[in-house]
């Protein structure tokens, strides 16, 4: 078992992150014992309920089953969950537990942060993306018709229980989407300013077969490395006023891919992988890195056989990138590689991008 801890100093919001491969039933006992003397509401994704409902054995009256898909991370479901919590008479001393991927985690966290101005929140991530990224760091959100994640809060969980056993049943595309974020950490590792040298790039190169075969020990180590990197970033910059922006490596162009394909054709991870390739190209054109590093990065990406993303017209993509909530008035912010596993933020005007890339 690995017991990590997030220490966000300014608000004393410390919480443990437990990574343990154990029987799902044992895990359920553990997180329910954490709620002893409390009432609790579990929000669980429909698919996870179908596969693990029996082993988890959560009483029906304590459960809200959320249908699957990004479109369910909406205001309507937020309201339904709040109403269920009110009917259950949950008080500020009670708890909300999220069991599922990032969709369940984000909407449940938003409920927890707003219900009675905030009640305890427990994360039990069941996708690779949720294990390595969304369950740690306290970003919560719902989507609106104007875009993804436009309404949300920063609200840290009380505890995160990560169990790599869940990842056995993820479908191949969902597993790969999480790997997209994992690969991202390898390109930003040094900028995460983690005291420990983790060398994720080597791990990804040497262990690719074990990772793709979902060997539990290897996945556990992989998650541990990524979580350590994420902890290091969010401890230094909880609310994304600076350092945390590096976690958006590959996301500027990646979000534009998701938008242009209406969030239907590619998963988030597939779009982000393409966004990282775009960032490496741009960094070479801007003379930030030499071509050797770009080739090395492409080799790491190739090992994981991500779905190929088609090319889109640059002018259209620039238009979409300008609409991104992280863009400033005129310019577009990119996180770009500047050295091995090192990145920095750069502003580009659209005409500058066209000149460099055409």
> Shortest gap between Cβ of 300 and ligand GLY (angstroms)?
20
169 binds, among ligand NAD, ligand GLY, none (CB under 5 to 8 A by kind): ligand NAD
Position 21 contacts ligand NAD (CB under 6 A) = no
The answer to whether the Cα torsion of 213, 192, 252, 103 is positive or negative is positive
Position 235 contacts ligand NAD (CB under 6 A) = no
Q: Which of 240, 303, 326, 352 is catalytic?
A: 240
Instruction: List Cβ neighbours of 230 (8 Å cut-off, separation of 6 or more).
Output: 132, 133, 136, 137, 185, 192, 247
Nearer to ligand NAD, 72 or 210 (CB): 72
- Distance between CA atoms of 65 and 112, rounded to whole angstroms? 16
Residue 215 burial (CB count, 10 A):
15
Position 307 contacts ligand NAD (CB under 6 A) = no
CB 235 within 8 A of CB 8: yes
Q: Is 251 a catalytic residue?
A: yes
For ligand GLY, the binding residues in 100-139 under the rule CB under 6 A are: 133, 137, 139
**Binding-site member from 247, 284, 309, 317 for ligand GLY (CB under 6 A):** 247
**Binding-site member from 28, 90, 101, 306 for ligand NAD (CB under 6 A):** 101
Position 236 contacts ligand GLY (CB under 6 A) = no
Total of residues contacting ligand GLY (CB under 6 A) = 6
Nearer to ligand NAD, 18 or 107 (CB): 107
Sheet holding 2-8, edge to edge: 2-8, 13-19, 159-162, 120-125, 95-100, 40-45, 63-66
Position 70 contacts ligand NAD (CB under 6 A) = yes
**Binding-site member from 190, 244, 294, 326 for ligand GLY (CB under 6 A):** 244
The interface region with ligand NAD, picked from 44-52, 57-65, 238-246, 342-350 by CB under 6 A, is 44-52
Nearer to ligand NAD, 189 or 270 (CB): 270
> Shortest gap between Cβ of 126 and ligand NAD (angstroms)?
3
Nearer to ligand NAD, 130 or 284 (CB): 130
For ligand NAD, the binding residues in 149-188 under the rule CB under 6 A are: 149, 166, 169-170, 174, 177
- Distance between CA atoms of 100 and 200, rounded to whole angstroms? 26
> Shortest gap between Cβ of 338 and ligand NAD (angstroms)?
24
- Alpha carbon 1 to chain centroid distance? 22
| Six token digits for residue 63 | 């459960």
Q: Is 255 a catalytic residue?
A: yes
Q: Is 240 a catalytic residue?
A: yes
Position 51 contacts ligand NAD (CB under 6 A) = yes
Nearer to ligand NAD, 50 or 92 (CB): 50
User: SS3 sequence, 66-133?
Assistant: ECCCHHHCCHHHHHHHHHHHHHCCCCCCCEEEEEECHHHHHHHHHHHHHHHHCCEEEEEECCHHHHHH
| Six token digits for residue 310 | 């088609």
> Shortest gap between Cβ of 139 and ligand GLY (angstroms)?
5
Listed as own residue / partner, the contacts of 328-336 with beta carbons closer than 8 Å and 24 or more positions apart are 332/252, 333/245, 333/252, 334/252, 334/253, 334/279, 334/282, 335/188, 335/245, 335/246, 335/248, 335/249, 335/250, 335/251, 335/252, 335/279, 336/279, 336/282, 336/283, 336/286, 336/288
Q: Is 173 a catalytic residue?
A: no
Position 103 contacts ligand NAD (CB under 6 A) = yes
Active-site residue list = 117, 139, 181, 230, 240, 244, 248, 251, 255, 268
């Amino acid at each position: 078992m690995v017991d990590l801890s997030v220490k966000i100093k300014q608000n004393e919001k410390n919480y443990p992150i437990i990574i343990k491969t154990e029987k799902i039933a044992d895990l359920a006992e553990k997180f329910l014992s954490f709620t002893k003397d409390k009432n609790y509401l579990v929000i669980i994704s429909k698919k996870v309920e179908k596969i693990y409902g029996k082993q988890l054995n959560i009483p029906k009256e304590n459960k809200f089953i959320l249908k699957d898909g990004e479109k369910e991370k909406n205001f309507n479901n937020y309201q339904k969950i709040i109403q269920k919590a009110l009917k259950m008479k949950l008080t500020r001393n009670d708890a909300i537990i999220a069991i599922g991927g990032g969709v369940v985690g984000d909407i449940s966290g938003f409920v927890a942060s707003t219900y009675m101005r905030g009640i305890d929140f427990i994360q039990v991530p069941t996708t690779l993306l949720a294990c390595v990224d969304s369950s740690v760091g306290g970003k919560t959100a719902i989507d609106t018709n104007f875009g993804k994640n436009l309404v949300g809060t920063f609200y840290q969980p009380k505890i995160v229980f990560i169990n790599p056993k869940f990842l056995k049943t993820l479908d191949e595309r969902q597993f790969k989407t999480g790997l997209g974020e994992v690969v991202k950490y390898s390109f930003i590792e040094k900028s995460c300013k983690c005291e420990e040298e983790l060398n994720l790039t080597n791990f990804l190169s040497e262990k690719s077969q074990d990772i793709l075969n979902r060997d539990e020990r290897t996945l556990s180590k992989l998650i541990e490395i990524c979580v350590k990197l994420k902890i290091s970033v969010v401890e230094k910059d909880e609310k994304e006023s600076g350092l945390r922006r590096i976690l958006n490596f590959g996301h500027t162009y990646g979000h534009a891919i998701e938008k242009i394909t209406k969030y239907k054709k590619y998963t988030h991870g597939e779009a982000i992988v393409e966004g990282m390739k775009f960032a490496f190209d741009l960094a070479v054109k801007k003379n930030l890195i030499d071509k050797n590093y770009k080739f090395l990065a492409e080799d790491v990406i190739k090992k994981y056989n991500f779905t190929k993303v088609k090319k889109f017209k640059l002018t259209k993509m620039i238009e979409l990138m300008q609409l991104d909530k992280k863009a400033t008035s005129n310019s577009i912010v990119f996180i770009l590689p500047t050295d091995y596993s090192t990145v920095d933020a750069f502003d580009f005007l659209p005409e500058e991008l066209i000149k460099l890339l055409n």
